[in-house]
Amino acid sequence: MSSIKNPLAAILDSNKFTGLNYQDWLRNLNIVLASEKLLYTIEKTPPKEAPADISPEELITLKQ
């Protein structure tokens, strides 16, 4: 097991997605992502194209 930086991420380790627990798993995922300020990654659709005035660092982040 890798070291977990966010203690709330342990929720996902102990409650893995099995198919039958989708609602609980999704709620836990939202909690963890919100605590890491990453919830926007599943709430927003990615842009189709990168803006013309984007910095190289932002472009790398966008491609991830």
**Which one, of 32, 26, 24, lies nearest residue 6 by Cα?**
32
pLDDT tens per residue across span 6-64: 677 788 788 888 889 899 888 888 887 777 776 666 666 666 777 778 788 877 776 66
Q: How far apart are CA 28 and CA 12, in angstroms?
A: 7
pLDDT bin (cut points 50, 70, 90) of residue 4 is low
**pTM (whole model) above 0.95:** no
pLDDT value of residue 1: 47
At 38, is the secondary structure helix, strand, or coil? Answer: coil
